[in-house]
Chain A
Amino acid sequence: SAVISQKPSRDICQRGTSLTIQCQVDSQVTMMFWYRQQPGQSLTLIATANQGSEATYESGFVIDKFPISRPNLTFSTLTVSNMSPEDSSIYLCSVTNRAAYEQYFGPGTRLTVT
């Protein structure tokens, strides 16, 4: 298994500003994932972050809005840019166990945009 930490755990931000969320893993992993969980809803994959290459974004998500960095095999950041109230969600970082493809999740960052 992997232990994942995220910072901040929660934040309240004003519209038009940006927030960078950090994700730290206790072991080296090839692939890291960023998900969004809107209130009362399921998880939606935003992008896959690979070390040494650009992130791969899912349909409906773009780099200008959600820039991602992956400087090494244990760390990644997701920035939510030019925020609006619709961005209020829980943002989750995860990594995968390639043996069975199960995922391990960080505790999440609860973002509220006012």
Chain B
Amino acid sequence: GNSVTQMEGPVTLSEEAFLTINCTYTATGYPSLFWYVQYPGEGLQLLLKATKADDKGSNKGFEATYRKETTSFHLEKGSVQVSDSAVYFCALSDRGTNAGKSTFGDGTTLTVKP
């Protein structure tokens, strides 16, 4: 079956530091890959996505590249802000019989200190 493995947290950074959150996946087909963000007390929001190999998703200064050869989708940001403090979930969605269902990683809690 499908699975997503995320870098364990929590992660604590100072403002303007570089962020990487690792994500690797296992899937039988060619999934779409996503990063979702959950701010304190809120629901999940889509942060960025990539639907095929070598695609780069980007949003709000965050980027992630779909690497089929390493089955990875690492999240990066060059300079984090306090407002980026949240839980980040890597996820994949299949295109086959499970189309529409998503498999989520365990989430990584990011805290950015001023």
* A residues whose Cβ falls under 8 Å from a Cβ of B: 31, 33, 41-43, 45, 48, 92, 96, 98, 100-108
Contact = CB atoms under 8 A, between A and B. Distances in A.
Interface residues of B, number: 24
B34 A43 contact: no
A102 B45 contact: no
A98 B93 contact: no
Given A105-B45, A106-B43, A107-B43, A33 B32 contact: no
B77 interface: no
Given A42-B107, A103-B44, A106-B43, 18 more contacts: A33-B101, A41-B107, A42-B89, A43-B89, A92-B43, A96-B93, A96-B99, A98-B99, A100-B32, A100-B51, A101-B31, A101-B32, A101-B95, A101-B100, A103-B93, A103-B102, A105-B43, A108-B43
A100 B46 CA distance: 12
Nearest to B90: A42
A104 B36 CA distance: 10
B60 to A, nearest CB: 16
Contacts of B105: 42
B84 interface: no
Interface of B: 31-32, 34, 36, 42-46, 49, 51, 89, 91, 93-95, 99-102, 104-107
A31 B100 contact: yes
A10 to B, nearest CB: 11
Nearest to A99: B51
A104 B95 contact: no
B42 A107 contact: yes
Contacts of A101: 31-32, 93-95, 99-100, 102
Nearest to A93: B43
Nearest to B6: A42
28 contacts: A31-B100, A33-B100, A41-B107, A42-B89, A42-B104, A42-B105, A42-B106, A43-B44, A43-B102, A45-B102, A48-B101, A92-B43, A92-B44, A96-B93, A101-B32, A101-B93, A101-B94, A101-B95, A101-B102, A102-B32, A102-B46, A102-B49, A102-B93, A103-B91, A103-B93, A104-B46, A106-B43, A108-B43
